[in-house]
Amino acid sequence: KRSSPVRAMPASNGHSNNMVSAFTSSEARMTALKSQGNEYLGAGNFLKAVESYSMAIDLEPSAVLYSNRAMAHIKLEAYGLAIADAEQAMKLDSTYVKSYYRRGSANLAIGKYKLALRDFKAVCKLRPNDRDARTKLKECEKAAKQLAFASAIETEVAAPVDFSSIAVEDSYDGPRLDDDDVNVNGGETRVSEDFCLQMMDRFRDQKLIHKRYVVQVLQRVRDLLDAEGSLVDLSLPPKEVATTTTTTTTTTT
């Protein structure tokens, strides 16, 4: 019998091996950068952590990497960047729980309680036994209720009351603000120290002052507060650094 001819296999040009090698090398470097980022994050070097995670994302983006970088951004108080990374993680894996936790933590930090509430509810639904998420959920619910209450009682600033139309009865025996205590040009009430001392003595005796003077005192307080700036610049000594702390939990994957 004739033996069947053996077909020679085409010589390999090494292209496939190079692809496998390159893939393995890229994956290994991504893993190394991710581990490096985790170490930096745990050590409190948040800027270095962001750099490591960013390089790992360039090699092989994943929900885990974006979520970890979001945590580093939260620690740096870069909450907008943290929210953006968390949402990118959600696009890559909508079931990755930590991305919701990161976005919720960032929204909580900037006072967006309703948005934070949404994310912590999602975490609690995916992980019913997550104690930290339940704590944050309760914190958000409380803050959201306080915000709703504040909005409900908020009113526009009322126009000044014409206190001159409020008559003071002759029977009133408490301290008085005379016409001389009113600045006619500016319409301001000058509440003297003597009046304040008499008012305090009257309060100690469980008595009240007349409503006309209550209005005048309150309007003067409002005038003084309106004259103050809403922001105050503070000058710190060169060696003194103002710091803030966050209560977010540092966990990486």
Q: Give the tens place of pLDDT for each residue, 27-67.
A: 889 999 999 999 999 999 999 999 999 999 999 999 999 99
Q: How many CA atoms lie within 13 A of 16 on its CB side?
A: 2
- Cα–Cα distances (Å) from 21 to 14, 18, 26, 240, in that order, read 10, 5, 9, 52
* pLDDT over threshold 80, residue 119: yes
DSSP 194: H
103 closest CA partner among 135, 129, 126, 74: 74
Question: Could you tell me which residues come within 8 angstroms of residue 86 by beta carbon, excluding any fewer than 6 positions away?
Answer: 66, 67, 70, 99, 100, 102, 103, 106
What confidence score (pLDDT) does residue 9 get? 43
Q: How far apart are CA 201 and CA 190, in angstroms?
A: 19
Token code pair at residue 228? 């103050």
Q: How many helices (H) and strands (E) does the chain have?
A: 9, 2
Tokens encoding 63: 């929900």
In angstroms, the first-to-last Cα distance of the chain is 64
pLDDT exceeds cutoff 50 at 246: no
What is the per-residue pLDDT across 56-77, written as a single tens digit (0 to 9) for each? 999 999 999 999 999 999 999 9
pLDDT of residue 62: 94
With a cut of 90, say whether residue 88 has pLDDT above it: yes
* pLDDT over threshold 60, residue 98: yes
Q: How far is the CA of 60 from the CAs of 22, 34, 157, 172, 249, in angstroms?
A: 13, 10, 55, 82, 25
- Match 């967006």 to its residue by tokens: 112
The highest-confidence range among 83-87, 99-103, 110-114, 134-138, by mean pLDDT, is 83-87
**What's the whole-number mean pLDDT along residues 119-147?**
80
Closest by CA position to 108, among listed 72, 69, 82: 82
CA–CA distances in Å: residue 97 to residues 60, 63, 67, 120, 197: 20, 10, 9, 10, 61
